[in-house]
Chain A
């Protein structure tokens, strides 16, 4: 039975009678585990101004362990800024940022380096190093840590297989298409198996099938690897995929994607909507779709 493998995954709740015993057990384990009760990422009243222009205004939210938080919002509403704040690439004017319960707000660049090693970041355009090959890009972190070359190669190949790009290992970034660059960026970010991953508009400017592939990768991370993530986007199809489907492994060991339905209901994907640096909505996609707010209406339907 395919659900057998999925019930052990935190975050997927099964109302199915036959396995409800297991499900209850897994839910119980989840609550009992105090470590899981600490949010992977937490923002407390974060405020940020660029040249007198407020970018974030008293922003507070939590991303729980194993949860994907989709941040929606128009351009310039502070989505990317939020992600950069988590990594300490920029510092807030006031407020607190916690990663795994650790207050990183006032960390120095050196202290932050240690925190960053636990977080994977996928940049808007991939941000690959132009001067390095795909192999060297993915291996960057390991080369910096002085890992022996044979282990680097195994790891790089494993990561590239995950994003289905092993054939491009010797190419230079300039030779790749936009979607491939984005996938190499994902492979690079996932080296070392970080438990927190940030996606900064990973599908912007990609054709629908490629965008779908990227969303599938995010779902695989969420449902099979128990990764907590922030997924910044303004594309509605991303929202549809991530909130209505989940990844499971079938009997043949293949990863397949199932629609959320009567048997399973997705509880590890939440939506946060921002406007002008403020949270205007936080909750599940169902509540978002039934929201009365005029702006949210326009955002979801485009008119």
Chain B
């Protein structure tokens, strides 16, 4: 099979899986407890890494751009630059990548081991559809929590930038924050929430698909986990570009 055929086949399987999971959400039984457990696992569990990532990214962004802005005499725009970069790009993408590392790997390893130890077959034999019981709740939980995590990362990033500006560069505290407030528009925030929704959907579908497709014992689990993380990371970055362009067209800005 050549690469193009394989790619199309994968795409078809992904779409079918996503469609089956989506259809399952509207049918009884509703797996609400499962979804809540997953939200706790994915969302609350990822809080620490997301806060840390956001905080230090905001900090280092301030650290690196201060010199450039200072040479143009535009230090008062520091909050604007850092805020927009975080809310539009770094917040959504870095959060998605961190969550990919932590959650996509976990999901595909868990489902993969369940395939290998025949637990998925057992579930089907007991009359339960694993796509509805396992895949649906995971994708849904990701789609609910990732935008929230992104928001938290944005806030942590701005806090990081602000902390660097007042402690390392001794700027007045209000200067950074007021330029953040002036710079960020509602469109930025909306875009910053729409993107993670798409990322979460893609990440969840890829993780579950790779997990359920595991073959060849424990080695296979490792293989599908690696593929899931790599694929999801690359897809997030590619989707980010496409979404950025689409959002520009929708909101009618080219800045």
Question: A residues near B, CB below 8 A?
Answer: 84, 87, 89, 109, 113-114, 116-117, 119, 121, 123-125, 127-130, 140-141, 144, 146, 185, 188-189
Task: Tell me how far the C-beta of B56 lies from the nearest C-beta in chain A, rounded to whole angstroms.
Answer: 34
The count of residues in chain B whose C-beta lies closer than 8 Å to any C-beta of chain A is 15
Q: Which of the segments B118-126, B189-197, B226-234, B236-244 contacts the partner chain? A: B118-126
In the assembled complex, the Cα of A210 lies from the Cα of B123 at a distance in Å of 25
Q: Which of B102-123 contact A (CB under 8 A)?
A: 113-114, 117-119, 121-123
A113, B127: Cβ atoms closer than 8 Å: yes
Q: A87-B125, A121-B122, A128-B122 are in contact. List 11 more A-B contacts (CB 8 A).
A: A87-B124, A109-B129, A113-B129, A114-B127, A117-B127, A119-B125, A123-B121, A125-B118, A128-B119, A140-B123, A141-B128
Between B123, B125, B126, B127, the greatest number of chain A beta carbons within 10 A of the residue's beta carbon is seen for B125
- How far apart sit A141 and B124, CA to CA, in the bound complex (Å)? 11
Prevailing SS type, chain A contact patch: mixed
> Is A84 within 8 A of B119, CB to CB?
no
Nearest chain B CB to A175 CB, angstrom units: 16
Look across to chain B and name the residue whose beta carbon is closest to the beta carbon of A88: B124
Residue of A nearest to B37 (CB): A131
Assess whether B29 is interfacial by the CB under 8 Å rule: yes
Query: B residues bordering A, Cβ < 8 Å?
Result: 29, 113-114, 117-119, 121-129
Ordered by A's residue number, 7 sampled pairs between the chains whose C-beta atoms are within 8 Å are: A113-B128, A123-B121, A125-B118, A129-B114, A140-B128, A144-B126, A185-B122
A127 neighbours in B (Cβ, 8 Å): 117-119, 121-122
In the complex, which of the residues B29, B113, B114, B126 contacts A140, with contact meaning CB atoms closer than 8 Å?
B126
Contact status B119-A116, CB under 8 Å: no
Question: How far, in whole Å, are A124 and B119 apart by their CA atoms in the complex?
Answer: 11
- Chain B residues with CB under 8 A of A189: 125
Contact A89 B119 (CB under 8 A): no
Residues of A within 8 A of B122 (CB): 121, 123, 127-129, 185, 188
